[in-house]
Structure 1
């Protein structure tokens, strides 16, 4: 054996390389049955697959320009990263946007901006913007809720996001006064770090299901009773990424912790249907909403992507005739995307947010119902100018998902569905999660929200308003047609937003139903550090 070993180590390295390449070539030509390229171009054909595998990274960091990438371009991501790190998020030398492109928006500033009174709370806390409406006020719920922040975190489940990511976001929401939507995966311990919570009920009824997988009102009541931070309940009808499609949670992904949180068995695939089994039809849904509200005392809303409008008209008709129904409505745009989805759904099923929201808003406006509903908007709206546009169209709150993920480190690797997220945000891999410093990422979430609200408020003041709820559909223009003619949102979508009943920010802060457990001193310190 020693003689053989001595002989082998005397063979030059280039001989070993040639032998290795000959073996690869033999495999490619004679044993490969799947790849034509490797058969026809042995050895060198592997370079093609290697370059293809790193193509997204090459385009993201080298090839694409600052405004070219989707779903979020480099300039958008850069603004989020700088805001979250409490760094300079300004840009110099003017915009590099194509301001004559179709759907480009212009915000119409006033000749003289709004002047803050000397005693105005935004003089000390310029990121403080409570919602102008109260969830559950019209329907006289026992525990109405006014969100302390106009910008909040959209539905993302534990399981979809990692434990450390959820905990970071919740702590960040606590610091900034925002609420945190649980997503349909149930209320985990990571959602219980001090922030207000909107508990979402999906078709799988995770966290509120009985042994047979059916909805259990008793479990929901116990959950709300034992967790007073739950301030509202959202009934998920569909989501923008894949409306009308259910999902399967594979047995391999169900840990003991996820099993306990979701109320599902270990060792078995769990089906999340495309439809609800707890009710039938629109009237049944309204009955179900009222039953939940009566049992829990909380405001109850619905979340949906939008396509056909007949059911929305039926819902509005029932609400007008019977004075009951959802307290808030979350409209999710078809461009949404934290959930894994088939490309055919993500690309084509359901309307983009701007078309979806305007269609639904007009339905409820025709039935004179907009004053009793808090409209929540979601769909790539996590930027001040886009939020201003959404509020001008009639939204009352903005929910952000992927933008919030970026604030804690997401780099848009688009591997959320593979459990290999390199930043540990959207994976259950313990090693990849280990890089997340929860306290640091919580503060980054806080800074993102505060800077977002601060800039949105500055835009509002530039337009002559004290609060963003005062934006109207005449305050924003949008480029239209192949001639890129700009028209107001009112002209483009054929309606004027109904006026919101708003007095002053001080009145909102004095509301007994205000959530957020606002630590104004903490927010003041945050603002001082920003300025």
Structure 2
């Protein structure tokens, strides 16, 4: 034994490496029955697989240019990071965008910018931009709601995101006067940190389901009564990433807490069916919306990706003829991505935002009822110039999902579906979550929203307007293919946005239905909100 040890001690370090490689080669050549490359090229094959496994990281940080990477390129992520950290988010030496590419947008500024009336200037909150419309006003809901911010957090559930991520977003929304959409995972304690909440549910009815998995109106009423921060309810028909497919929350991401909130068993994948059991056609959908609105007193809306347009036409006809139906419509572009999906769905099913929104808005514009609906736009719109385009097309609010995740530290690792998110944002792994500082991340959400609103408001004023609702379709040009070169949105999409009833920002500030902490301060002084039905959440 001593002689063996002496011989082994004489082998240099590089000799051990050669021995290890020889063992790997023997194993792959004689015992590997699964992988052709490592069998035929035992050493080089392993190097190839190692490089392939870190390919996304190499491209993200080294190979891809600042404008190449998808879904969000390095420049876009950099702008969000800088804004969220309250750092300089400007760029110098001019644009490096290809301004002649198809679908590139140009915002038509005014010769003379809007002159701000200093007597109405809010020094405490200079970048206040509330929604110009009120949800539920035309359908006489008991508790109408005017979102206090035109940019808000889109539907991302507790379960798909971690507890600390949800809490960070909610606290940040409170600071920014934005609402926080719960996603379809139910209302958790992490959604109750002070922000206005839109309760969202899909085909699984999580949080408002009975023992058989069906929708429970009794549970919905109880939930709304016990949680006054819920200001509106959203019924998800489909989402951009995978419309008509349903969803899966892997068993590995389901904790006891998540199971209790969703009213589902532990140890099993949570399946959301592709269709609703509570209704099966458009008239039944309208009845379902009205049933919830009458029972809760809240505005009720729908969220959907867009493809075929016939059922949208049926919905618009019913709404015009009966004055019933959703108070708001969230149009989710096919480029949406917070829900994991098969590539065939993510890449090809449902229209991208710009096509989806114009198709839907045109249907309601033809019926003359666009001002009865709050249109919420979703689909990579968390940048001021893209938001200006959306408002010019008819949007009233912007919902952001991945942009909000990036603001709290998401690095676009694209491992949301594996429960291995390295930043702790899209995982239930306690160790990975431990790096999230809720106070710091909430502040970053607030800064991102504030910087967004600041820049968006500056663009609005540059175009001669006081509020983004005043944008018209001729205020934005878009590059087209072939020889059409550039046309306005109106020329391109064949409709004229209905003028939004807007008087002044000052009137919006005094609205009794205004949400957010800013609105709450105003409401305590008004008689209209002394009853429980019109009270604002005081968390």
Q: TM-score surpassing 0.5?
A: yes
Q: C-alpha distance in 2, partners of 1:121/1:142?
A: 32
Question: 1:107 maps to which residue?
Answer: 107
Q: Note if contact 1:175-1:519 (Cα within 8 Å) is conserved in structure 2.
A: no
Show the counterpart of 2:85. Answer: 85
User: Which residue of structure 2 lines up, in the alignment, with residue 322 of structure 1?
Assistant: 322
- Single out whichever of 385-394 and 423-432 deviates more from structure 2: 423-432
Shift of 1:4: 5.0
The answer on whether the counterparts of 1:102 and 1:482 sit within 8 Å (CA) in structure 2 is no
1:27-426 paired onto structure 2 within 5 Å: 27-122=27-122, 124-426=124-426
The SS at the match of 1:119 is helix
Partner of 1:525: none
CA distance in 2, matches of 1:149, 1:250: 34
Cα shift readout 1:301-350 (whole Å, capped 9, x = no counterpart): 00000000010000001111111000000000000001100000000000
Instruction: Report Cα offsets for 1:437-491 as digits up to 9, x if no partner.
Output: 1000000000000110110000000000000000000000001113461110000
In 2, Cα distance between equivalents of 1:502 and 1:104? 29
State the match for 1:528 in structure 2: none
Change (3 A) 1:127 1:391: same
- Cross-structure match for 1:430: 430
State the alpha-carbon separation in 1 of the partners of residues 396 and 184 from structure 2: 23
Q: Displacement of 1:519 after TM fit?
A: 8.1
Partner of 2:530: none
Q: Are the equivalent residues in 1 in contact too, given 2:253–2:427 (CA < 8 A)?
A: no
Q: 1:69-105: CA deviations, max 9, x gaps?
A: 1111111111100000000000011101111111110
Q: Which digits, 9 at most, give the CA deviation of each residue in 1:269-304, with x for residues without a partner?
A: 332100000112111110000000011000000000
Aligned partner of 1:526 in structure 2 is none
- Asked whether the equivalents of residues 477 and 486 of structure 1 are also in contact (C-alpha less than 8 Å), the reply is yes
After superposition, the C-alpha distances for 1:360-384 in whole angstroms (9 at most, x for unaligned) are 0000011111010000000000000
Give structure 2 stretches of 5+ with no counterpart. 522-539
TM-score scaled to structure 2, two decimals? 0.95
Equivalent residue, structure 1, for 2:11: 11
Counterpart Cα distance in 1 of 2:412 and 2:267:
32
Residue pair 2:148, 2:519 contacting (<8 A) in 1 also: no
1:494 maps to which residue? 494
Q: Distance in 1 between matches of 2:190 and 2:409?
A: 18
User: Whole-Å Cα distance in 1 between the matches of residues 2 and 440 of structure 2?
Assistant: 57
Q: What TM-score do you get using the length of structure 1 for normalisation?
A: 0.96
**1:131–1:148 CA contact under 8 A, matched in 2:** yes
1:473 matched residue in structure 2:
473
Sort the Cα spacing of 1:491 and 1:484 in 2 relative to 1 into closer, same or farther, 3 A.
closer
The change in CA–CA distance for 1:395 and 1:367 in structure 2 (over 3 A counts) is same
- Structure 2 Cα separation of the partners of residues 356 and 312 of structure 1: 11
The separation in 1 between residues aligned to 2:257 and 2:5, in whole angstroms, is 52
C-alpha change, 1:262 and 1:358, in structure 2 (3 Å) is same
How many angstroms apart in 1 are the aligned matches of 2:249 and 2:476? 43
Per the TM alignment, residue 43 of structure 1 is displaced from its structure 2 partner at its CA by 1.1
- CA shift in 2, pair 1:405/1:513, >3 Å: same
Please say which of residues 479-488 and 399-408 is displaced more in the overlay: 479-488
User: Does structure 1 conserve the Cα–Cα contact (< 8 Å) formed by 2:196 and 2:515?
Assistant: yes
Secondary structure of the corresponding residue to residue 271 of structure 1: strand
Partners of 2:163 and 2:197 in 1: how far apart?
A: 16
Closer, same or farther: CA 318–105 of 1 in aligned 2, 3 Å: same
Q: Taking structure 1 as reference, are residues 97 and 520 closer, same or farther at Cα in structure 2, changes over 3 Å only? A: farther
* Partner Cα separation in structure 1 for residue 23 and residue 451 of structure 2: 58
Written as runs of structure 1 = structure 2, the 5 A alignment for 1:435-450 is 435-450=435-450
Matched, 1:460 2:460: yes
In structure 1, the partner of 2:531 is: none
Structure-2 change in CA distance of 1:280 and 1:83 (3 Å): same
SS at match of 1:280: coil
Cα distance in 2 for partners of 1:516, 1:64 equals 40
CA distance in 2, matches of 1:415, 1:427: 9
Residues 28 and 195 of structure 1, relative CA distance in 2, 3 Å threshold: same
Distance 1:118 1:197, change over 3 A: same
Displacement after TM superposition at 1:268 (Å): 3.4
Residues 301 and 170 from structure 1, CA distance in 2 versus in 1: closer, same or farther, beyond 3 angstroms? Answer: same
Describe the superposition over 1:409-456 as per-residue Cα deviations: whole angstroms up to 9, x where unpaired.
Answer: 011111111111111111111111111110000000000001101100
SS at match of 1:477: strand
CA RMSD of aligned residues (A): 1.4
Correspondence for 2:510: 510
Verify the 8 A CA contact 1:125 1:520 in the aligned structure 2: no
Deviation of the 1:200 alpha carbon: 0.3
